[in-house]
Amino acid sequence: MRTTVRAAAKINLFLDITGKRGDGYHIVNMVMQSVSLYDEVTVTVGNGDGEITVSCTDENVPCDETNTAYKAVKEFFKYAEMKPVNVWVKIKKRIPSQAGMAGGSTDAAAVLVALNEMLETEFSQDELAEIAENIGADVPFCIYGGTMTANGIGTILTPLPEMPECYIVVVKPDIKISTKEAYAKSDSIGYEQTRSIETMIDAVCNGNINAVGKALYNKFEEVVEVPEIDEIKSCMETYGAEGALMTGSGSAIFGIFEEKSDADDCMDYLERHFENVWLVEPVSECQVIK
Ligand code: ATP
């Protein structure tokens, strides 16, 4: 039995780090948005006693037990209290790694959705999100997708109205950033709140793309060094972006455009200077069974 899931990436429209728990997890205040850049995750189940095999088109992604898809299979059978069967996961990678776009997290969510479908466990989205929490802080969001606020360690999720229609240019500079190291660096600047998430929430709720552009904020920009960030952001703004920001702990940078023609012109320019550039749009679902 085989199921293929189209698994969407995310960007952060707002990301503040407001504290650190005793167990080392950081407390965040975020607005997350699914976008139309997809990995394709094919999950096959067959007879056997629980062997897990993961493969990925990107040779830099580890396919051992550290792969998020592998962890998802383990956690699924644990939660379902079922005798594990053999599972093969094939990941067609399009979402850049170490980019702050939740590539690993969305693959894990795709595996949970695929297994739920094939093994007829009929878990609700909330139950899948409960399993997802054991895999990583961004995985529950990748179960629901769309536009949401995320609080606590990123797992307390509240849906927002859909982001207004727009065009999003994403550039992934060559530099790779480890999320763990970026959080460690953020500790050095403290957790004072300098920006209010409410401005972003109001902008989204009012469907005002101009205000969304103005309210973009990411605390990681203060601690993570991406050499090209200023060049990319000012290029996006020159081409008419409502605003530009690094997503997650980087290193991908995005610009939000109201007009497709402006986004197209910006793409033309950036494609001549960077290898990895995409034009995407906000989407309301993260996991879609094909
Ligand atoms: P986030 O926005 O959730 O912080 P990210 O974009 O920073 O994500 P990922 O692409 O999720 O980072 O991957 C981070 C690291 O996780 C990779 O360098 C890789 O070693 C490891 N990894 C494990 N499983 C996967 C997977 N399925 N896809 C991509 N990377 C994975």
Q: What is the mean pLDDT of each run of 10 residues along the chain (290 residues)?
A: 98 96 93 98 96 97 98 98 97 96 98 97 98 97 98 96 97 89 89 91 98 97 93 97 97 97 98 97 96
For ligand 1, atom 15: residue with the closest CA: 98
- Whole-number pLDDT of residue 177: 85
Backbone angles phi, psi at 218, to 5 degrees: -145, 115
Q: Output the residue whose Cα is nearest ligand 1's atom 30.
A: 104
How many angstroms does the Cα of residue 283 sit away from the middle of ligand 1?
21
**Closest atom of ligand 1 to CA, residue 97:** 10
Ordered by start, the domain boundaries in the chain are 2-161, 167-280
Q: Residue 181 Cα, ligand 1 centroid: separation in angstroms?
A: 13
Q: Cβ atoms within 10 A of the Cβ of 125, count?
A: 15
Instruction: Name the strand (E) or helix (H) holding 181.
Output: helix 179-186
Give yes or no for a contact between 12 and 29, defined as CB atoms under 8 angstroms apart: no
Angle at 224 between CA 222 and CA 227, to 5 degrees: 105
Is 187 among the residues known to form the active site? no
Fold match between domain 2-161 and domain 167-280: no
Q: Which atom of ligand 1 is nearest to the CA of 178?
A: 7
Cα(133) to centroid(ligand 1), Å: 16
pLDDT at residue 108, rounded to an integer: 98
Specify the pLDDT at position 190: 85
167-280 maps to CATH 3.30.70.890: yes
The pTM of the full predicted model, rounded to 2 decimals, is: 0.96
Ligand 1 pocket test, candidate residues 61, 139, 276, most atoms within 8 A of CB: 61
Q: Ligand 1, residues 34, 58, 63, 97: which to mutate, most atoms within 8 A of Cβ?
A: 97
Which residue in the list 16, 39, 138, 262 is annotated as catalytic? 138
Structure token pair of residue 13: 């429209």
Q: What is the CATH number of domain 2-161?
A: 3.30.230.10
Residue 190 neighbours by CB under 8 Å, 6+ apart: none
**Catalytic: 92?**
no
Query: Which string of DSSP letters, residue by residue, matches 163-177?
Result: PPS-EEEEE--S---
Ligand 1, atom nearest to 137 Cα: 3
The alpha carbon of 61 and the centre of ligand 1 are apart by a number of angstroms equal to: 8
